[in-house]
Amino acid sequence: MNDQFFSQRIYLRPLTLNDVSQKYCDWLNDPQVNQFLETRQTTLNQLKKYVSDQIADPKSFLIGIFDKENNNHIGNVKFYLLDEAKKRADFGIIIGDKNYWQAGFGTEATKLAIDYGFKILGFNEIELGVLAENIRGQKAFSKAGFKPITVKKNYANHNGIWHDAILMEIKKYIR
Ligand SMILES: CC(C)(COP(=O)(O)OP(=O)(O)OC[C@H]1O[C@@H](n2cnc3c(N)ncnc32)[C@H](O)[C@@H]1OP(=O)(O)O)[C@@H](O)C(=O)NCCC(=O)NCCS
């Protein structure tokens, strides 16, 4: 229980290889879920390798989001340490179980993850890139306290089409 971090409806804990399931794999292959993500397609074996690589990488922190009521694995957040001196990390989130969309779970998980990043992982600054078309993501991140800082032109290419992204950040001491 020590490595669990709670809010009202969810908890976070580091992901393990045991959390890799067909359900988790299906999220990443769902065109609605992966619409704004880099990962568009994966197999169970590729996912096991990915999770095991993240666990082995000291700069990467892959954390599961779980429903407190039934321990259902509903998504993940991920931090990647970008700058050791500044303690600045990149952030990403997926609520893979679409039954949990549009009910404030993305906002709640982002808020909890920010606390986790600052208090448990010792970061001072967290940034993220969200595609301009991903209004749902931008709303959840803004409600959790992220502020837009710049627009990155041609940030990601999906099926031959370039998409701009909004770079957002939150700092530990300016909140
Ligand atoms: C992005 C994501 C984390 C948001 O989670 P969520 O639980 O649906 O988000 P919330 O319910 O907390 O908030 C979503 C907000 O967007 C709004 N919204 C959703 N679709 C919208 C649209 N098309 N236009 C305008 N607003 C929209 C909702 O109304 C809600 O705002 P409100 O609470 O003020 O009504 C989740 O949808 C997800 O994981 N998506 C797939 C992966 C992804 O895109 N990750 C982010 C990559 S940067």
> Is residue 61 pLDDT above 50, yes or no?
yes
- 44-61: b (≥16 Cβ within 10 Å) or e: eeebeeebeebeeeeeeb
Instruction: Give me the pLDDT at residue 98, please.
Output: 96
Question: Which residue bears the tokens 């568009």?
Answer: 40
Delineate the domains of the chain, giving CATH numbers in brackets: 5-126 (3.40.630.30)
Instruction: Give me the pLDDT at residue 158, please.
Output: 87
Q: Ligand 1 centroid to 84 CA: how many Å?
A: 31
> Is residue 2 pLDDT above 60, yes or no?
no
What is the overall mean pLDDT for the chain?
95
Q: Is the CB of 167 under 6 A from ligand 1?
A: no
**Comparison of pLDDT for 3 and 109, the residue scoring more:** 109
Residue nearest to atom 13 of ligand 1 (CA): 140
Confidence (pTM): 0.95
Q: Is the CB of 91 under 6 A from ligand 1?
A: no
> Is residue 30 pLDDT above 50, yes or no?
yes
**pLDDT tens profile 120-164:** 999 999 999 999 999 999 999 999 999 999 999 999 998 889 999
- What size, in residues, is the chain? 175
Q: Is 135 helix (H, G, I), strand (E, B) or coil?
A: helix
Residue of 90, 139, 158, 164 to test ligand 1 pocket, by largest number of atoms within 8 Å of CB:
139
Instruction: Give me the pLDDT at residue 48, please.
Output: 97
Instruction: Give me the pLDDT at residue 175, please.
Output: 53
Q: Edge-to-edge strands of the sheet including 73-83? A: 5-6, 10-14, 60-67, 73-83, 88-95, 125-131, 161-171, 147-158
**pLDDT tens profile 78-113:** 999 999 999 999 999 999 999 999 999 999 999 999
Quick one: which atom of ligand 1 is closest to the CA of 96? Answer: 39
Q: Is the CB of 104 under 6 A from ligand 1?
A: yes
Q: Which percentage of the chain shows pLDDT scores above 90?
A: 91
Residue nearest to atom 37 of ligand 1 (CA): 101
**Comparison of pLDDT for 39 and 120, the residue scoring more:** 120
Q: Which percentage of the chain shows pLDDT scores above 70?
A: 97
